[in-house]
Amino acid sequence: MNPLKLLETTPGTFSLLLDAGTTQVDELIEESGHEPNGYFWEGVARFLVSTEAPTLKERFEYDSEGGMFCACGDDREALQDLAELMSAVATDETRLRGLIAAAEAAGFEFDD
């Protein structure tokens, strides 16, 4: 799940967090014309859910900001599944390149 963290913020409520600007793919993100901020990573999450894991849609909410990606809710399993998807992208330049290319081809815009 590296570099993401899944925390129980209050009993029964969970937050999936990623500190923006701390991944091993940040340089590639910048080379691709994006900013490695929380909003970019929220775009990654939204694209992954829409293309690879539609069963996760509407099972949590996003609450990202510039310095941090955040998804939260009471469905720990859904957040864990999202963490696994995002971890694969945040640690693999080839996977990230493919995701950015697919998003651009689909007309998806990252809100970074």
**Range of 13's domain?**
5-105
| pLDDT tens column, 56-66 | 999 999 999 99
Sheet holding 61-62, edge to edge: 5-10, 13-19, 68-73, 61-62
Does residue 112 fall inside a structural domain?
A: no
Beta bridge partners of 14: 8, 73
Q: Is residue 111 part of a domain?
A: no
Question: What confidence tens digit (pLDDT) does each residue in 33-50 have?
Answer: 999 999 999 999 999 999
CATH number, position 21: 3.30.1360
**pLDDT value at 111 more than 90:** no
Quote the pLDDT of residue 108: 95
pLDDT of residue 107: 94
Q: What is the pTM of this model?
A: 0.95
Q: Count of domains in the chain?
A: 1
CA atoms of 42 and 86, how far apart (whole Å): 10
Report d(CA 70, CA 79) in Å as an integer: 10
